[in-house]
């Protein structure tokens, strides 16, 4: 939760900081944002490999947390160096000191996140046996924690940093850094008490390739060494032989499913990640944010809290919906759920074209309720796609490659964020002298711009529906993924 507070708090004001304090234009801001968020999701591929082969989850998480805290403080120092006299940047080779610490902060966040992100998700899966159905419930609880941090972050960081005074961004970045320190402290203090198996053995201290989740006799003791049952003694040589065994046909097909689904989620996250760029631009410029009763201007960054708030409100309903459908043999397959998520997302952007058309027609601003409704539609799509995707990776992956394949899942997010930044560069800007064109269509207004994401999402959904039966067959008996009623499960455990 605190790590997500750090990340989403910083993300809520990042593009606004570039626009208002570094004096970048929309296109350059989108480019930097796309490169940054893309690399944030690319480095988990490396961090997952290092954790699997050398460090284990715990050491990787602690290292990543330290680097990310330093990155937030570097961004804060960059903001501290802001002066109204700073000139507009002419490109990557005209850095002033403010920009140097800005890029240093982004670099530290990218590297730190690579060690942190895949290992947190992997540890959740490692708390349960391979076929323990509570795993889906655990990921729902995990996802709720993520979104609690994401909900609070834009409100706190936006309140402190997005005040209309560019000098105040420093306080927002400092708050994000403090959040990371709190999260790291909680992890270090609680890891030995809570990150354990039911038998009291540590989770994440030893690289996951040394642990075969399919065999409960293979556990780690508190010192991180392997122990076996008396009836089936195990040694390092046997374990290494198991680790070096070639993949079976079924394992290859299941890994293939992960890669195929990872490709399709690129289209989802490309549209979804407009929240940090084009949707924030729209909120800042075209949404009536003045609350007349108290004469207060709502920070544009606050709208990014709508998504996590909607998740906290609606995730329990989705948690109840899937088992009800399953009991009636109506639950959609995993690929079908992802296609439904893409349809919800497309519908959200289709709804956005209505207020966008009003702005194109000459309206100066639109109701904030439009943006709230759009974020809720996007959230419905996310609930159909993201948490089950995390659970799917841990279920479909061979135990010795689970962190690496979690990195592959985040690799798709890396590609989508790069693409999101590229497409956000097309956002209508009156200072632009040349009208951008995509697939032969000129982007002359906001309505045309947002239609890009409508068309992209619905085409991906249709293709995914057409191949869903083949994907289910390639999963070879892995059950459909559904949420249990997670708080009822907690009550049962108590």
Q: Quick check: 374 and 450 in contact, CB under 8 A?
A: no
pLDDT per position as a tens digit, 129-158: 767 767 767 777 787 788 789 899 999 999
Percent of the chain beyond pLDDT 70? 86
- Nearest 5°: the CA angle 454, 460, 407 is 110
Q: What is the pLDDT of residue 402?
A: 78
To the nearest 10°, report the CA torsion of 249, 252, 258, 259: -130
Q: What is the pLDDT of residue 295?
A: 83
Q: What is the pLDDT of residue 329?
A: 85
Mean pLDDT, residues 270-295 taken together: 92
Q: How far is CA 466 from CA 7, 37, 176, in A?
A: 36, 31, 43
218 pLDDT higher than 50? no
Domain 2-493, architecture per CATH: Up-down Bundle (1.20)
Residue 209: both structure tokens together: 């390739």
Q: What is the pLDDT of residue 479?
A: 60
Mean pLDDT, residues 212-238 taken together: 39
Q: Which residues contact 162 (CB under 8 A, 6 or more apart)?
A: 12, 13, 16, 168, 169, 172, 299, 300, 301, 302
- Binned at pLDDT 50, 70 and 90, residue 231 comes out as very low
pLDDT per position as a tens digit, 163-191: 989 999 999 999 999 999 999 999 999 88
Task: Please state the separation of Cα 367 from the chain's center in Å.
Answer: 28
pLDDT per position as a tens digit, 39-54: 988 888 788 788 888 8
For 361-401, where are the alpha helices, taking DSSP H only? 368-396
Q: What is the pLDDT of residue 148?
A: 87
- Binned at pLDDT 50, 70 and 90, residue 485 comes out as very low
Which region among 38-47, 64-73, 358-367 has the lowest average model confidence (pLDDT)? 38-47
**What angle, 0 to 180 degrees and rounded to 10, lies between the N-to-C axes of helices 446-466 and 334-360?**
170
**What angle, 0 to 180 degrees and rounded to 10, lies between the N-to-C axes of helices 169-194 and 2-20?**
160
Q: What is the pLDDT of residue 172?
A: 96
- Binned at pLDDT 50, 70 and 90, residue 85 comes out as low
76 pLDDT higher than 60? yes
Task: Please state the separation of Cα 166 from the chain's center in Å.
Answer: 27
Q: What is the pLDDT of residue 440?
A: 82
Which region among 247-251, 397-401, 405-409, 483-487 has the lowest average model confidence (pLDDT)? 483-487
240 pLDDT higher than 70? no
Q: What is the pLDDT of residue 208?
A: 55
Place of tokens 């940090």: 276
Place of tokens 């293709």: 463
362 pLDDT higher than 70? yes
The rounded distance, in Å, linking the Cα atoms of 422 and 437 is 13
Q: What is the pLDDT of residue 54?
A: 86
The rounded distance, in Å, linking the Cα atoms of 490 and 390 is 20
Instruction: Please indicate whether residue 364 or residue 477 has the higher confidence score (pLDDT).
Output: 364
242 pLDDT higher than 60? no
pLDDT per position as a tens digit, 190-213: 888 888 776 777 888 777 555 544
Q: What is the pLDDT of residue 90?
A: 46
The rounded distance, in Å, linking the Cα atoms of 394 and 204 is 15
Q: What is the pLDDT of residue 34?
A: 94
The rounded distance, in Å, linking the Cα atoms of 175 and 297 is 21
The rounded distance, in Å, linking the Cα atoms of 364 and 106 is 35
Residue 57: both structure tokens together: 């989850």
- Report the chain's mean pLDDT, rounded to a whole number: 83
Which region among 55-64, 257-266, 314-323 has the lowest average model confidence (pLDDT)? 314-323
- Nearest 5°: the CA angle 383, 386, 392 is 120
Q: Which residues contact 12 (CB under 8 A, 6 or more apart)?
A: 153, 154, 157, 158, 162, 172, 276, 301, 304
- Binned at pLDDT 50, 70 and 90, residue 270 comes out as very high
Domain boundary assignment for the chain: 2-493
Q: What is the pLDDT of residue 494?
A: 35
pLDDT per position as a tens digit, 101-113: 999 999 999 999 9
283 pLDDT higher than 70? yes
Q: What is the pLDDT of residue 408?
A: 78
């Amino acid at each position: 939760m605190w790590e997500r507070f750090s990340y989403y708090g910083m993300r809520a004001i990042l593009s606004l900081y570039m626009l208002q304090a570094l004096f970048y234009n929309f296109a350059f801001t989108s480019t930097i944002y796309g490169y940054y968020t893309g690399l944030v999701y690319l480095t988990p591929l490396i961090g997952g490999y290092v954790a699997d082969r050398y460090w284990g989850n715990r050491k990787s998480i602690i290292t990543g947390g330290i680097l990310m805290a330093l990155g937030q403080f570097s961004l804060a120092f960059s903001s501290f160096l802001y002066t109204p006299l700073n000139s507009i940047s002419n490109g990557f080779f005209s850095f002033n000191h403010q920009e140097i610490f800005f890029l240093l902060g982004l670099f530290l966040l990218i590297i730190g996140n690579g060690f942190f992100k895949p290992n947190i998700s992997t540890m959740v899966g490692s708390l349960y046996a391979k076929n323990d159905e509570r795993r889906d419930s655990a990921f729902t609880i995990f996802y709720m924690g993520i979104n609690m941090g994401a909900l609070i972050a834009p409100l706190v960081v936006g309140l402190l940093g997005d005040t209309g005074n560019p000098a105040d961004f420093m306080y927002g970045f400092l708050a994000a850094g403090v959040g990371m320190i709190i999260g790291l402290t909680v992890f270090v203090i609680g890891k030995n008490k809570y990150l354990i198996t039911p038998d009291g053995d540590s989770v994440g201290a030893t690289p996951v390739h040394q642990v075969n989740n399919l065999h409960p006799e293979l556990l780690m003791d508190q010192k991180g060494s392997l122990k076996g049952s008396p009836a089936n003694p195990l040694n390092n040589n046997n374990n290494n032989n198991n680790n070096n065994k070639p993949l079976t046909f079924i394992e290859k097909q299941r890994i293939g499913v992960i890669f195929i689904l990872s490709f399709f989620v690129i289209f989802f996250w490309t549209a979804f990640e407009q929240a940090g760029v084009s949707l924030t631009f729209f909120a800042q410029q075209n949404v009536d944010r003045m609350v007349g009763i108290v004469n207060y201007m709502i920070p544009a960054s606050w709208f990014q809290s709508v998504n996590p708030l909607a998740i906290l409100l609606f995730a329990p309903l989705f948690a109840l919906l899937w088992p009800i459908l399953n009991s009636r043999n109506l639950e959609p397959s995993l690929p079908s759920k992802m296609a439904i998520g893409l349809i919800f997302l497309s519908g959200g952007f289709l709804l956005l074209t209505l207020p966008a058309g009003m702005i194109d027609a000459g309206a100066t601003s639109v109701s904030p309720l439009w943006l709230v409704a759009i974020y809720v539609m996007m959230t419905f799509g996310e609930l159909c796609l993201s948490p089950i995707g995390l659970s799917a990776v841990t279920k479909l992956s061979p135990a010795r490659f689970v962190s690496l394949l979690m990195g592959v899942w985040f690799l798709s997010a890396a590609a989508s964020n790069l693409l999101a930044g590229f497409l956000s560069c097309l956002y209508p800007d009156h200072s632009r002298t040349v009208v951008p064109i995509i697939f032969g269509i000129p982007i002359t207004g906001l309505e045309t711009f947002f239609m890009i994401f409508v068309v992209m999402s619905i085409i991906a959904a249709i293709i995914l529906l057409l191949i869903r039966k083949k994907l289910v067959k390639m999963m070879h008996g892995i059950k459909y993924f559904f949420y249990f009623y997670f708080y009822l499960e907690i009550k049962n455990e108590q």
